[in-house]
Amino acid sequence: MIFRASIMAIVILALAAAWWLLQALGMPASLTSQTLTDWLNQEGAAGPALLMLLMVIAVIVGPIPTLPISATAGLAFGLIKGTLIAATGALLGALLAFWIARLLGRDAILRHFPDNPILAEGGSQRFLTIAILLTRAIPIFSFALISYAAGVTAIHTWRFALATFFGMLPMTMVFAGLGTTFELNPVLTVVAGLAILAVMAWLPWSISRHPESRLARWLHLRQ
């Protein structure tokens, strides 16, 4: 209990300090692509680091949209450099969210679902990697929600990192190239995220009823 409380306190203090730093450096209240670009250009060489920090906060906190930040990266730093900066910041934020969930919730999940083929220690790495890759490729899924959910599954950190980076790279490049984005309904993103989690939980159970099926063998989901 003390360990979990300490982790939460550290995370909250770190996020508060990072947000205070951005505010102290003059970050605009409106997080539109153009206003952020103007601000980052004024910050000179520190601009890329500030954008990555903003992306990390957006991923961990959740409600802050990440797509306008990707568009800002393209406007401020160009297509290739902007894509790499945005993707790096998103990956760092995803890994932090992943480990927050793993440290705080993984043990409880194992106690309640000791034999689940994607949550247990020997869970299907192939299935989880594919699931993360696909949800990252579709921007409608909540980036933060998927990161936290992945942290309580059996997926290895390096698999999560690779699936996250390469899954989000195409759409990150698209939005960095366009320099613009569209607004997603926050309710829709949460519902979509919960839907994919439900499928991830249901599919192993369904396949366990036919453990010798070709799909079960390929996904390594046989019990």
How do residues 151-170 score in pLDDT, each as one tens digit? Answer: 888 889 999 999 999 998 88
Task: Please report the pLDDT score of residue 210 as a whole number.
Answer: 60
Q: Which residue has the tokens 């939005």?
A: 175
Q: Under 8 Å CB-to-CB from 158, ≥6 apart: which residues?
A: none
Name the token pair of 25: 């450096």
Task: Please report the pLDDT score of residue 189 as a whole number.
Answer: 47
Task: Please report the pLDDT score of residue 95 as a whole number.
Answer: 95
Q: Under 8 Å CB-to-CB from 1, ≥6 apart: which residues?
A: none
Low-confidence ranges of the chain (pLDDT < 50): 180-185, 189, 222-223
Task: Please report the pLDDT score of residue 180 as a whole number.
Answer: 42
Q: H or E stretch including 16?
A: helix 2-24
Task: Please report the pLDDT score of residue 160 as a whole number.
Answer: 95
Task: Please report the pLDDT score of residue 79 as a whole number.
Answer: 83
Task: Please report the pLDDT score of residue 208 as a whole number.
Answer: 60
Residue 152 has φ and ψ, to the nearest 5°, of -95, 0
The separation between CA 82 and the C-alpha centre of its own chain, rounded to angstroms, equals 18
Q: H or E stretch including 75?
A: helix 67-77
